[in-house]
Amino acid sequence: MERISYSDAQGVVQALLQAQQVVENSGLDKTLITLIKFRVSQINSCAYCLDMHFKEGVHAGENPLRLVSLSAWRETPYYSSEERAVLAFAETLTRLREEESSEHIHDELSKYFTKQEIANITLAVITINSWNRLVRSFGPTPGKYKVKEEAVAAN
């Protein structure tokens, strides 16, 4: 049941769309961005976002097996070392524990990515976490998302 429509929160939605555009135009690999969006949405139990990012990912050529296996990525051979580093980083940022130090979170990422790329990856994680929380608050109905060609082009 939709509690708040996007049209009722234009400033909020526009702010997130701007952050999303920075991520989409950052030069990060589109597959990597899809994996971040899908994994973070799994952690946050955002059914609407899972539906959206699964459909967009498959439409853009992602292997459905990689998406449905993402919650068990440590147990599968489907992900590159770079993707594994990003997934671990995304999980750490999404599940921040107040008693845990953040010193280690760049160690593995730094092997594969520049500081600018890590900043862009960080924004990708922040942005999908924000969308997940917005969607969980607003309450759109999962399962009804339809891929739009312009959405895939941005992905």
145 domain residue, yes or no: yes
101 domain residue, yes or no: yes
Summarised one tens digit per residue, pLDDT across range 94-126 is: 998 877 777 788 889 999 999 999 999 999 999
Q: How far, in Å, are 55, 58, 114, 140 from residue 148 at the CA level?
A: 10, 13, 32, 17
Query: How far separated are the first and last CA of the chain, in Å rounded?
Result: 27
**Position 75 confidence tier, pLDDT thresholds 50, 70, 90:** very high
5 domain residue, yes or no: no
pTM: 0.90
| Long-range pairs, 142-150, Cβ under 8 A, ≥24 | 142/47, 142/48, 142/50, 142/51, 143/47, 143/51, 144/51, 145/48, 145/51, 145/52, 145/55, 146/55, 147/55, 147/56, 147/59
54 domain residue, yes or no: yes
14 domain residue, yes or no: no
Summarised one tens digit per residue, pLDDT across range 52-70 is: 999 999 999 999 999 999 9
3 domain residue, yes or no: no
Predicted confidence at residue 151, as pLDDT, reads 46
97 domain residue, yes or no: yes
CATH of the domain at 49: 1.20.1290.10
37 domain residue, yes or no: yes
User: Which residues are CB-contacts of 40 (< 8 A; sequence separation ≥ 6)?
Assistant: 90, 94, 125, 128, 129, 132
Total domain count, the chain: 1
Summarised one tens digit per residue, pLDDT across range 6-64 is: 778 889 999 999 999 999 999 999 999 999 999 999 999 999 999 999 999 999 999 99
Domain region containing 61:
19-154
